[in-house]
Amino acid sequence: MTPMHMHTTLLISLSLFLIIPLSISSTTTISPEGICNSTPFPSFCKSLLPNNNSATVYDYCRFSIHQSLATTRNFLSLIDGYLKLKNILPQATVRALEDCQFLIGLNLDFFSSTIQTIDSTSTLQSSKAEDMLTLLSATLTNQQTCSDGLQSTSLQNALFVPFKNGNMLYSVSLAFFRHGWVHNTRKGRWLREQMKITQDRNIYEAVRGRKLLQTGGGNVKVSQMVTVSQDGGGNFATIGDAVAAAPNNTAAAGGYYLIYVVAGVYEEYISIAKNKHYLMVVGDGINRTIITGNRSVIDGWTTFNSATFVVVGQGFVAMNLTIRNTAGAAKHQAVALRSGADFSTFYNCSFEGYQDTLYTHSFRQFYRDCDIYGTVDFIFGNAAVVLQNCNLYPRLPMQGQFNAITAQGRTDINQNTGTSIQNCSIRAAPDLASSSGTTKTYLGRPWKEYSRTVYIQSFMDNLIDPAGWMAWSGDFALNTSYYAEYANRGPGASTANRVTWPGYNVISATDAANFTVSSFVSGDSWLPAIGVPYTAGLI
């Protein structure tokens, strides 16, 4: 089938969804018009739903998610068809399509998992509801990432309509789920019950006479430990080989597969695949165990695939190492770490780059005692992420550039995503501190329409521009974004001359508590099993 035929098939398939019958449950029903008015796209929603029957919100949600799954299959067929023409397409287009193939494949998994969970029940524990909300939020993020990558390619116009319709369909599904399954008592606080993981083995493993982890005495279950050493003294000579040897699809209760990486410089591109669950990579310390690469957009890579280190597998942990992208400021977007892994944790790590250093792409993430270096948008993405007790180091950018610490990518008001920066320190990196230029440094700017970033109880040195925040383009997202500051300190923390956008807020302790480790990323349910230190609430 040619790509054009598949394009037509996709649009036909969308119309066929209109005649699929809804099952009616015995609980309260609502009209299609009533339920659609509670979504971001009421007209589109009404065009999808049969207009002659009322149903429960659970029925509407199941209906729309089944549609989303079918649409995703069609997306993947469409992308696969274009990739059959890779020999005649520009390399940049092929790489963008390959990103889409990967991301849409993930969405198939996410919608399938959601359907398996909700098709047989209208009641979910709040922890399970949070998991499904996170999956559905990630489908929108993956779709947007795919669309962003295709924007500058020859396929942009051909794919515009199906992708626009897909985005709206996914958004409607997310809205229905929020209305139906997410517990009303949460009131915006992302809480879940504690996950019970037996902790029966201490991770304090002696290697060459030293202790690997010393995080305050927590017990961590380890199923297997291997060593990577370039001198041939370990189990593997490369990190990639150690990752490949890890078991697939392990459960949390099975314990971590621990990869200890001896000090050295490892010129490798590492990818923790979606089936590599609960891996832990531990180095000998920042600037001792170094993983480095230099891919960049200028050299033909997509931003998404420019990363030196990529994590997709759930439950990943990294400790005591440095991850670099050395492409430099002149190469523009060049990612050091990209994480799209749920419950991913980074402790005592350093991430070094310039533009787009740390890509917190999706799902729930936690960073503690880490160093992050960069220039433009150097912490970006659409995860639900807390950075706690970290050092943020804006660097000297290219002449005429500014620094923006964050560029958060939330595209839908119902996504449970955002960037929370708590008790961190923002100081100029040595090259910026010693420069005589006039580089402006901002706390962030709204990459997407519902961008959400908060700074809580952090130190801000005098490099922060008094306005605090920078517009992306004109008045884009100034009304719909959510930027907030609470109890920050230092010469750059004054809010007296901050922007006056409707989306900017100086918040109370009650509001700030919504963005803490316990509330925003459900940290109490998974961080104790890792053994890293963390503060659950406000300090």
Please name the helix (run of DSSP H) or strand (run of DSSP E) that holds residue 238, with its range, or none.
none
384 and 403 Cβ atoms separated by less than 8 Å: no
Dist. CA 48–CA 474, nearest whole Å: 34
Greatest Cα pair distance in the chain: 73
What do you get for the CA distance between the two ends of the chain, in Å? 59
**300 Cβ contact list (under 8 Å, min separation 6):** 91, 92, 95
Cα distances (Å, whole numbers) of residue 221 to 253, 254, 279, 355: 8, 8, 12, 37
Place of tokens 């992050």: 372
What is the Cβ-side half-sphere exposure of residue 477, based on CA atoms within 13 angstroms? 25
Dist. CA 198–CA 218, nearest whole Å: 12
Which residue intervals of 364-446 are DSSP H helices?
430-433
Dist. CA 83–CA 90, nearest whole Å: 11
Cα distances (Å, whole numbers) of residue 181 to 61, 170, 173, 313, 500: 9, 16, 12, 26, 36
356 and 376 Cβ atoms separated by less than 8 Å: yes
Tell me whether strands 206-207 and 264-266 are parallel, antiparallel or unpaired.
unpaired
Catalytic residue among 59, 377, 412, 524: 377
377 classed as catalytic: yes
DSSP state of 105: H
Instruction: Work out the angle at residue 405's Cα, subtended by the Cα atoms of residues 391 and 525, and round it to the nearest 5 degrees.
Output: 60
Helices vs. strands in the chain: H and E counts, helices first: 11, 26
Place of tokens 């889409």: 100
The token pair that represents 500 in the structure block: 């006056």
Q: Is 442 helix (H, G, I), strand (E, B) or coil?
A: strand
Q: Is 319 helix (H, G, I), strand (E, B) or coil?
A: strand
Q: Is 258 helix (H, G, I), strand (E, B) or coil?
A: strand
The token pair that represents 260 in the structure block: 């200890």
| Residue closest to 418 by CA, chosen among 519, 314, 307, 533 | 519
411 and 140 Cβ atoms separated by less than 8 Å: yes
Q: Name the residues annotated as catalytic.
A: 377
